[in-house]
Amino acid sequence: MPAHLEEGAVVCLGPTCGPRAGANIPAGLTEADLDLSQLRSGRVVTGTRDDLVFAAAPADRDDNLLAVVLTRRVGTPPGVVGPWYFAMVLLTLLGAAAVAANLGRRLTRPLRDAQIATGKIASGDLAARVPERAADGEELAGLARSINAMAEGLERSRRLERQFLLSVSHDLRTPLTSIRGFAEAISDGKAPDIPQAAGIIGAEARRLERLVGDLLELAKLDARRFSLDVRSTDVAEVVADTAEGFRPAADSAGVALTVAPAEGLTAAADPDRLAQVLANLIENALKFASGSITVGSGRSGLGVAVWVEDDGPGIPADDLAHVFEPFWHSQRSPAREVGTGLGLAIVAELVAAMGGTVRAEPLDAGGTRVVVGLRPWQAAG
C-alpha cells in the first residue's frame, strides 16, 4: 500500500493554552505519545503508533509549549517500518556527531596551540611560537600571527636589554677601575705625578656622573616626568650656540666642525631641550667622525629641520630604524669614545615630546646624517 503524504500541525500544550490545549494533536496520537518532558527539554521526539510514524519538535519555550508535529501513515506493518526508521535516525545522529567532532577539533586545536604557546611565553620561554596554518581560517591564523609578533617583540626587547646592561656595566667598570687604581697609587705614595693622577680621577668621576645623569634622564623621559616649555624658538641661535660649545672638543679630536644654520626660522620648541638634543647629536657624531662634522638648519616643507652630519663609517641600512631605541647597541666601530651611548635614545624622547620627528639616514659620500624635524611656530598657536 503506498504511503500517504506527510501531515503537520502546531500544537499548543502549555498551561495557558486554554481550550486550545492539545486540540491540534493529529488523529491517532495523544499527549503521552509526544513525551512532553522531552519536548520541554528541547529534544525532538519520534515514534510510531500503529501505521502512523510521527516526529515532534519544540517551537517555543515561553509560557506555552508549542510543538510542530509531522505524521505519515505507511502501508507496511509498523514492525517493519520501525526498525528501518530508527536505524536511519541513528545513522543520521552518528553522522552529525562525526561532523561536529571534526569541526570541534579544527576549532579547538589552534586555540589549544595558542594556549600552550602563551603559557610558555608567560613562563619566560620567549622562543615559543604558535603554528600558523592557513587551513585554520583567517581569524585563528591572525590570532597566531599576533601572538608570534608579540613573542618576537618581547624576545628582541630582552636581547637588547641584556646588551644594554652589558654596555652600562662596561661603562661603569672602566672609570671605576681607573679611579680605584690611581687612588690606591696616591694612597700608597707610588703615584709619580700626584696632580696628574688627581686629574684623571676627576675626569673619570665626571664620566661616571654623565652616565648616571643620562640614565636618570632617560628614566624621567620614559615616564614623561620632565618639564617642557614649548614656545617660539630662534633655531639658528640655538644651533650656533650649542655647536660652538663643542669646538674645543672637536679641535682636540682633530675634527673640523662646520656650523651652517639658516637665519630667520622659528620653530615650536623648548630652547633648552632643543640645545640638549643638538648636544647629544654632536657628541654622538664626535664618537664616529673621521675628520668632519656639519651642523645646520633650514626649512623642510612646512616645518624646520635641524641636522648633524659626520663622515664616519655610517650605519648599516638594517640598523637605521633602531638607532634611537634605548637598548640598541651600534655594531660600527667608533673612531673615539665619547659620551655614554644613551644620547640618541634621549634625543628621540625629547623630540617626540616637542611634537617633532627624528630620523637617521646615510650620506652618499659615506657617513650619517641625523635630521630633527620641528613644527613651525605658527602651527603651534
Domain boundary among 56, 75, 94: 75
The answer to whether residue 20 scores a pLDDT higher than 60 is no
Number of domains the chain contains: 3
- Domain presence at residue 27: yes
CA dihedral 203, 205, 208, 210 (to 10 degrees): -60
- Domain presence at residue 110: no
Is this structure's pTM higher than 0.85? no
Instruction: Determine which of 3-12, 243-252, 347-356 has the lowest per-residue pLDDT on average.
Output: 3-12
- Domain presence at residue 120: no
CATH of the domain at 323: 3.30.565.10
Per-residue model confidence (pLDDT) at position 375: 92
Do 244 and 194 belong to one domain?
no
- Domain presence at residue 371: yes
Angstrom distance (rounded) from CA 37 to CA 18? 20
Do 217 and 240 belong to one domain?
no
The answer to whether residue 351 scores a pLDDT higher than 50 is yes
Angstrom distance (rounded) from CA 267 to CA 361? 22
Instruction: Determine which of 16-30, 38-52, 265-279 has the lowest per-residue pLDDT on average.
Output: 16-30
99 exposure class (CB count in 10 Å sphere: 0-12, 13-18, 19+): exposed
CATH of the domain at 210: 1.10.287.130
- Domain presence at residue 82: no
The answer to whether residue 109 scores a pLDDT higher than 80 is no
pLDDT class of 138 with cuts at 50, 70, 90: confident
Q: Residue 260 belongs to what domain range?
A: 231-380
Angstrom distance (rounded) from CA 63 to CA 154? 56
- Domain presence at residue 127: no
Which of 92-96, 292-296, 310-314, 335-339 has the highest mean predicted lDDT (pLDDT)?
292-296
Do 251 and 182 belong to one domain?
no
Do 214 and 240 belong to one domain?
no
Do 203 and 244 belong to one domain?
no
The answer to whether residue 357 scores a pLDDT higher than 80 is yes
Do 144 and 271 belong to one domain?
no
Do 254 and 366 belong to one domain?
yes
